[in-house]
Chains A and B, each alone.
Chain A
Amino acid sequence: MNLTDEQLERYSRHIILEQVGATGQEKLLSGKVLIIGAGGLGAPAGLYLAAAGVGTIGVIDSDSVELSNLQRQVIHHTPDVGTPKVESAAAKMRAINPDVTVRTYFDRAGPDNLVALMSEYDFVIDGTDNFSSKYLINDAAWFARKPFSHAGILRFSGQLITVRPGQSACYRCLFPDPPEPGAVPSCSQAGVLGVLGGVIGTLQATEAIKYLLGEGELLTDALLTYDASGMEFRKVPVRRNPRCRLCGPSPTITVLEQQDQAVCDLSGSCNC
């Protein structure tokens, strides 16, 4: 790939970086990232990945934009209310950077489509809002052997970890089983500070970019936690769990299934 004059100018702040350069920018332009969920986490991740010139960005989401999303889902604007989120997100990413090919999937990520979909990409960003999806993505990534960034946000807190299936601790290594449905407050009750998605979602984008570049150390085998109240980041070292039902030596999860616990919100339409 040869960068055009326009690309040399557009990506000049990347190209002058020792860790990126023209070669790194070409890697980004040929990179493919799948964003699952165009919400609080996926919105900032999508904007920055598009700006960075990640060549192919897939977005899967089955929701349409609602007014209550706009407090944090910065890729969607007021006139987008009622539009499928994937369309709204794709329009902004294309407007930022015509170099980017955006593929949209107005669909739910499920056990029937996720492994095949992940296989078409280099790296996956989990921007979903419920435990059922987060476990499903972790498991699908294992079966697809696809690296991904897991993240969660709630109230004034957030956390993330990068998983390289078979090489580093997975989400189930840390959280062996989903919480009991009754133990979980509904997300719309709990709320979330809007900027949390920006903080954590851009960190997820950073991991995707580092992975495509092959630069730096990924956030594997460590859970990064962020507390906005005390303005504190902590990196908690973790390791693969020999009792992990998915990636341990004696797995009991051998096929991809969705544990259909609508734990986030019993109506299944969480808006956190």
Chain B
Amino acid sequence: MEITVNGDAVTLDGPLTIARLLVEQEVKMPDMVSVEHNGKILDRAEFDKQQVRPGDTVEFLYFMGGGA
């Protein structure tokens, strides 16, 4: 199936959870990521349950604490 991750088209096998997507996309520090799924920010507890379906849009928003 094809989905959009951070603006890029990505082809993946079958439906999968957000948690699985984080692994497959090799997100190194999943604790440092907030996930927007089809425009909705997910709670961390939903990562294991929320299914990603063909055509979905997922954004990984990274925590960035620096500034000084």
Partner-B contacts on A (CB < 8 A): 37, 39-42, 63, 69, 73, 126-131, 134, 151-154, 157-159, 173-177, 179-180, 183-184, 187, 190, 192, 197, 223, 225, 234, 236-239, 241, 243, 263-264, 270-272
Inside 8 A of A270's CB, which chain B residues have their CB? 66, 68
- The A/B interface has a contact count, at CB < 8 Å, of 103
A41 and B41 contact, Cβ closer than 8 Å, known pairs A174-B34, A175-B34, A176-B34? no
- Give me 12 other A-B pairs in contact (C-beta within 8 A), A184-B63, A241-B41 excluded: A37-B67, A39-B67, A154-B66, A159-B61, A177-B44, A179-B31, A179-B32, A180-B31, A197-B67, A234-B7, A236-B36, A264-B66
Nearest-neighbour CB distance to chain A for B6, whole angstroms, equals 7
Partner-A contacts on B (CB < 8 A): 6-7, 29, 31-32, 34, 36, 39-41, 43-44, 59, 61-68
Can you list 26 A-B pairs, Cβ within 8 angstroms, ordered by A?
A37-B68, A39-B68, A41-B68, A63-B68, A129-B68, A151-B67, A154-B62, A154-B65, A157-B62, A157-B64, A159-B61, A159-B62, A174-B36, A175-B61, A176-B43, A179-B63, A183-B29, A184-B32, A184-B65, A225-B62, A236-B6, A236-B59, A239-B39, A241-B40, A243-B41, A271-B68
A-B complex: 5 closest residue pairs judged by Cβ atoms: A39-B68, A152-B64, A129-B68, A183-B31, A272-B66
Bound Cα distance A39, B44 (Å): 32
Inside 8 A of B68's CB, which chain A residues have their CB? 37, 39-42, 63, 69, 73, 127-129, 270-272
A131 and B65 contact, Cβ closer than 8 Å, known pairs A174-B34, A176-B34, A176-B43? yes
Q: Is the CB of B34 within 8 A of A153?
A: no
Nearest-neighbour CB distance to chain A for B28, whole angstroms, equals 11
Q: Is the CB of A159 within 8 A of B64?
A: yes
Bound Cα distance A137, B17 (Å): 34
Bound Cα distance A272, B17 (Å): 35
Q: Is the CB of A192 within 8 A of B65?
A: no
> Across the two chains, which residue of chain B brings its CB closest to A173?
B41
> Across the two chains, which residue of chain A brings its CB closest to B39?
A239
Q: Is the CB of A187 within 8 A of B65?
A: yes
A129 and B61 contact, Cβ closer than 8 Å, known pairs A176-B43, A234-B6? no
